[in-house]
Amino acid sequence: MRIERRVALGLWIIGLAICGAVIARTSLSTDMAAFLPRSPSAAQQVLVDQVRNGVVSRLILLGLDGAPPDALTALSRNLGQRLRGDPAFLAVNNGEEAGLSGERDYLWRNRYLMSPGVAADRFTAAGLRKALESDLRLLQSDIGVLVEQSLPADPTGEILTLIDQFAGSARPHSRNGVWMSADDRRAVLLVETRAAGFDIDAQQQDLAAIGDAVAAAKRDISGAAEARLVESGPAVFAVQTRASMQRDATRFSLIATVVVATLLLFAYRSLRALLLGLLPVASGALAGIAAVALGFGFVHGITLGFGVTLIGESVDYAIYLFTQTDPGTSPAATLSRIWPTLRLGMATSIAGFSAMLFSSFTGFAQLGLFSITGLVVALVVTRWVLPALLPRGFAAPSAGFFATPLLLLMARARQLRLPVLLLTLIGAALLLTHRGGFWQEDLAALSPIPAADQALDRALRHDLGAPDVRYLVVLTAPDEQQALQASARISTLLDGLVPQGALSGYDAPDRILPSDAAQRARQAALPPPEILQVRLQEALAGLPFRAEIFAPFLRDAAAARAAPLLTTAALPPALKLQFASMLFERKGEWIAVLSLSGVHDAARIAASIAGLRQPGLALVDLKHDSDQLLRTYQREAVLLALVGSFVILLLLLTSLRSPARVFAIVAPLVASVVVTAALLTVGGRKLSIFNLVGLLLIIAVGSNYALFFERQRREQAHRERSTASLALANLCTDFGFGILSFSGIPVLHDIGITVACGTFLSLIFSAILSTGGAGERRAAAAVDGAPRLGARVGDR
Amino acid sequence: MASLQQVKSASGQFVERKTLRVLNQPLIASGTLLYVAPDQVQKITVSPQRERLALSGDMLTVEGGPDDRTRTMSLASNPEVAAFVEGIRATLAGDLPALERFYTVQFAGGPTSWQIELQPRDERLRKLVQWIRIGGSGDLIRAVNTEQGDGDHSEMSIVEDIHDAH
pLDDT at B157 over 70: yes
- Residues in B closer than 8 angstroms to A177, CB to CB, are 58, 74-77
For residues A107, A113, A117, A121, the Cα torsion angle rounded to the nearest 10 degrees is 150
Decide which of A208 and B64 is more confident.
A208
Q: How confident is the model at residue A516 (pLDDT cuts 50, 70, 90)?
A: very high
| Overall number of domains in chain B | 1
Of A153, A155, A164, A150, residue with least CA distance to A134: A155
Which of B17, B20, B22, B86 to mutate against chain A (most A CBs within 10 Å)? B22
What does DSSP say about strands A298-300 and A27-29: parallel, antiparallel, or unpaired? parallel
Instruction: Identify the pLDDT of residue A423.
Output: 92
Q: How confident is the model at residue A779 (pLDDT cuts 50, 70, 90)?
A: very low
- Residues in A closer than 8 angstroms to B23, CB to CB, are 136, 139, 544-546
Q: Is the whole model's pTM more than 0.90, yes or no?
A: no
Q: How confident is the model at residue A229 (pLDDT cuts 50, 70, 90)?
A: very high
pLDDT at A786 over 60: no
Mean predicted confidence (pLDDT) in A299-305: 75
Q: How confident is the model at residue A791 (pLDDT cuts 50, 70, 90)?
A: very low
- Residues in A closer than 8 angstroms to B45, CB to CB, are 141-142
Instruction: Identify the pLDDT of residue A75.
Output: 93
Of A32, A30, A58, residue with least CA distance to A448: A32
Closest-CA distance, A177 to chain B, in angstroms, reads 4
B65/A174 CB distance under 8 A: no
Closest-CA distance, A535 to chain B, in angstroms, reads 18
Instruction: Identify the pLDDT of residue B165.
Output: 64
- Residues in B closer than 8 angstroms to A140, CB to CB, are 18, 27, 29, 48-49, 66
Pick the range with the lowest mean pLDDT from A202-216, A274-288, A677-691: A677-691
Find out whether A355 and A368 touch, Cβ atoms under 8 Å.
yes
Find out whether A587 and A562 touch, Cβ atoms under 8 Å.
no
Mean predicted confidence (pLDDT) in A331-358: 85
Closest-CA distance, A545 to chain B, in angstroms, reads 4
- When CB atoms are compared, the residue of A95, A142, A171 closest to B43 is A142
Which of B19, B20, B63, B132 to mutate against chain A (most A CBs within 10 Å)? B20
> What domain range is B34 assigned to?
2-165
Instruction: Identify the pLDDT of residue A43.
Output: 55
Mean predicted confidence (pLDDT) in A279-286: 89
B23/A142 CB distance under 8 A: no
- When CB atoms are compared, the residue of B27, B49, B76 closest to A177 is B76
- When CB atoms are compared, the residue of A140, A174, A176 closest to B48 is A140
A141/B58 CB distance under 8 A: no
A141/B62 CB distance under 8 A: yes
Percent share of chain A, pLDDT over 90: 25
- pLDDT tens for A600-637 read 898 999 999 888 888 888 888 877 776 776 777 778 88
- Those residues of chain B whose CB sits closer than 8 Å to some CB in chain A are 18, 20-25, 27, 29, 43, 45, 48-49, 51, 53, 58-59, 62, 65-67, 71-72, 74-77, 80-81, 84, 128, 152
Report for A17-21, A101-105, A528-532, A644-648: range of highest mean pLDDT: A528-532
Decide which of B151 and A679 is more confident.
A679
| Coil, strand or helix at A624 | helix
Which of B42, B77, B85, B89 to mutate against chain A (most A CBs within 10 Å)? B77
pLDDT at A676 over 70: yes
Backbone angles phi, psi at A169, to 5 degrees: -85, -40
- pLDDT tens for A424-463 read 999 999 888 877 677 776 666 666 677 788 888 888 877 8
DSSP states along A386-403: HHHHSPTT------HHHH
Nearest CA in chain B to A551: B22
* Rounded-to-integer distance, Cα A667 and Cα A657, Å: 17
- Residues in A closer than 8 angstroms to B75, CB to CB, are 177
Which of A140, A173, A545 to mutate against chain B (most B CBs within 10 Å)? A140
Instruction: Identify the pLDDT of residue A245.
Output: 75
pLDDT at A12 over 90: no
For A36, the enclosing helix (H) or strand (E) is: none
* Rounded-to-integer distance, Cα B51 and Cα A413, Å: 90
Mean predicted confidence (pLDDT) in A350-361: 82
* Cross-strand pairs, B29: B16
- Those residues of chain A whose CB sits closer than 8 Å to some CB in chain B are 95-97, 134, 136-146, 148, 151-152, 171, 174-178, 544-546, 549
- Residues in B closer than 8 angstroms to A145, CB to CB, are 80-81, 84, 128
- pLDDT tens for A547-571 read 899 999 999 999 999 999 999 888 8
Decide which of A470 and A265 is more confident.
A265
Mean predicted confidence (pLDDT) in A484-488: 94
SS3 for A42-100 is HHHHHHHHHHHHCHHHHEEEEEEECCCHHHHHHHHHHHHHHHHCCCCEEEEECCCHHHC
Report for A160-164, A196-200, A538-542: range of highest mean pLDDT: A538-542
* Rounded-to-integer distance, Cα A364 and Cα A352, Å: 12
Instruction: Identify the pLDDT of residue A781.
Output: 46
For residues A760, A763, A767, A771, the Cα torsion angle rounded to the nearest 10 degrees is 160
* CATH of residue B77: 2.50.20.10
Of A751, A669, A760, A775, residue with least CA distance to A345: A669
B62/A143 CB distance under 8 A: yes
* Rounded-to-integer distance, Cα A319 and Cα A274, Å: 10
A174/B21 CB distance under 8 A: no
CATH numbers and ranges of domains, chain A = 3-26+237-447+626-795 (1.20.1640.10), 40-95+172-232 (3.30.70)
- Residues in B closer than 8 angstroms to A142, CB to CB, are 43, 45, 51, 53, 62, 65
* Rounded-to-integer distance, Cα A368 and Cα A35, Å: 13
Whether the CA torsion A325, A327, A331, A332 is positive or negative: it is negative
- When CB atoms are compared, the residue of B24, B49, B81 closest to A544 is B24
Closest-CA distance, B102 to chain A, in angstroms, reads 15
Report for A86-95, A352-361, A530-539: range of highest mean pLDDT: A530-539
Quickly count helices (H) and strands (E) in chain A.
32, 13
